[in-house]
Amino acid sequence: MAVNEAERRAMTRALSLATLGPRGVNPQVGAVLLSPDGTVLAEGWHHGAGTPHAEVDALSKLAPGAARGATAVVTLEPCNHTGRTGPCALALIDAGVARVVYALDDPGAVSGGGAERLRDAGVSVDAGEQADAAHAVISGWLTAQRLGRPHITVKWAQSLDGRAAAADGSSQWITGPSARADVHRRRAEADAIVVGTGTVLSDDPSLTARDGDALFADQPVPVVIGSRATPDDAAVRRHPRPPLFYDTRDLHAVVADLQARGIQSLFVEGGPTLASAFVSARLVDRVLAYIAPVLLGGDRLALTDIGVPSIGEARRLTVEEWLPLGSDLLAIASPSPDRPSADRPSPAGPREEGAA
């Protein structure tokens, strides 16, 4: 059965509702219930760990029996497991829902399979509506399910000749105001922002996400990696959220701990040494390279050694977009799918922390 216009509109609305939920160990999910004639009956979203999932949140706003014959439009496949809450697939079946339209399959080995359960109960199911948009909303969570770690963006700003700073170490500002505003917007979309102690000691960054002179409502958790001590009066210690400090060079251990803390997306902005370490460790899902039309020369490269001894072992990227920002250019790229990978996939677990 083809998705109709009312269901498409409902999916657009469900995607908007999903973003109202908190980012973290659970996916952001939205749901809209439609009557057989396409009228919106109820809406819901997941409010956080231990609370009803989006479908059940929407059903709770209706009187018993009011959802019989309805269509549930959901951004993620209804779950099929019992954790802190029961299976959403069963809740929809018990409510008498006749049709389910969802955007993305649930990748969880435990929580997936809701669509099959619905079909077995005679419910019409259609998958894939606005899947790309739904993927964008929960890309961090999906990466965590696939790899057992957060989605990692590595960002740097560089001159046209690939330098991150002038010979004396000065780098403010290589790029212009439009590029810097874009960086802050992307910071606000991340769960955590990561720098090394070298950046903290040399630049004393606040690691906040700013909208002009004001702070965005959503602030990333500041993370500092390195063995050198962060001064008591460092700007990062005045961040709205308590900073996390890691005295280690083991990036896999760092990202594993951040994952355990509910961090689903990292924004790495720590200078050439840290950026190169993440790239070398193959801990990068997206690269943001802000390129300014200036020449600096010298040896202060945007990336240092990343473990590429010959051209045949170059880290190949796929450019997703070239984005002009004032006089600067942003290259948005991701590692090519056929690249060798040191990532160790882990079986996807339940959609909910402590659900088992």
Q: Are 76 and 11 in contact (CB under 8 A)?
A: no
**How many domains does the chain contain in total?**
2
The answer to whether residues 259 and 115 belong to one domain is no
Based on the fold, state whether residues 223 and 91 are members of the same structural domain: no
Beta bridge partners of 222: 193
Judge if 86 and 121 occupy the same domain. yes
Residue 95 and residue 186 in one domain = no
- SS3 of 51, please? coil
Kindly list the catalytic residues. Answer: 55
User: Could you give the count of Cα atoms lying within 13 Å of 292 in the half-sphere of its Cβ?
Assistant: 21
Phi/psi of residue 29, each to 5°? -135, 140
Domain range for 107 is 5-137
Question: CATH number for the domain including 53?
Answer: 3.40.140.10
Residue 348 lies in a domain: no
Q: 143 in a domain, yes or no?
A: no
Residues 205 and 329 in one domain: yes
Considering the domain architecture, whether residues 204 and 238 belong to the same structural domain is answered as yes
Query: Which of these three, 105, 137, 169, is where a domain ends?
Result: 137
Looking at 103, 137, 171, which one is the last position of a domain? Answer: 137
Is the domain of 191 the same as that of 258?
A: yes
**Considering the domain boundaries, does residue 257 fall inside one?**
yes
- Domain shared by 101 and 178, yes or no: no
Instruction: Let me know if residue 173 belongs to a domain.
Output: yes
- Residue 270's H or E segment, with its range, is none
| The pair of three-digit structure tokens given for residue 346, joined into one six-digit string | 């882990």
Please report whether residue 167 resides in a domain. yes
Mapping DSSP to helix (H, G, I), strand (E, B) and coil, where does residue 26 land?
coil
CA distance 34 to 9: 11
- With the C-alpha atoms ordered 229, 233, 236, 237, is the resulting torsion angle positive or negative? positive
* DSSP per-residue codes, 15-49: HHHHTTSPPSSS---EEEEE-TTS-EEEEEE--ST
Q: What per-residue confidence (pLDDT) applies to 356? A: 25
Residue 14 φ/ψ, nearest 5 degrees: -65, -35
346 Cβ contact list (under 8 Å, min separation 6): 147, 148
45 bridge partner residues: 30
Which residue is it, tokens 């990466």?
143
Tell me, what CATH number does 189's domain have? 3.40.430.10
Q: Are residues 46 and 194 part of one domain?
A: no
DSSP track, 320-347: EEEEEETTEEEEEEEE-TTS--------
How do the pLDDT tens digits run along the chain, 356 residues long?
788 999 999 999 999 999 898 876 678 899 999 999 999 999 999 987 778 899 999 999 999 999 999 999 999 999 887 666 678 999 999 999 999 999 999 887 556 688 999 999 999 999 999 999 999 888 878 877 777 888 899 999 999 998 888 787 777 788 989 999 999 999 988 889 999 998 888 888 899 999 888 998 889 999 999 989 999 999 999 999 999 999 998 999 999 999 888 888 899 987 899 999 999 999 998 999 999 999 888 888 888 888 888 888 888 888 988 999 999 999 999 888 754 444 434 434 444 433 32
User: Domain for residue 215, yes or no?
Assistant: yes
Same domain for 62 and 30?
Answer: yes
Single residue among 115, 137, 159 that ends a domain in this structure: 137
Is residue 354, in this structure, part of any structural domain at all? Answer: no
202's enclosing H/E stretch is helix 197-203
Do residue 196 and residue 96 come from a single domain? no
Inside any domain, residue 344: no
234 and 203 housed in the same domain: yes
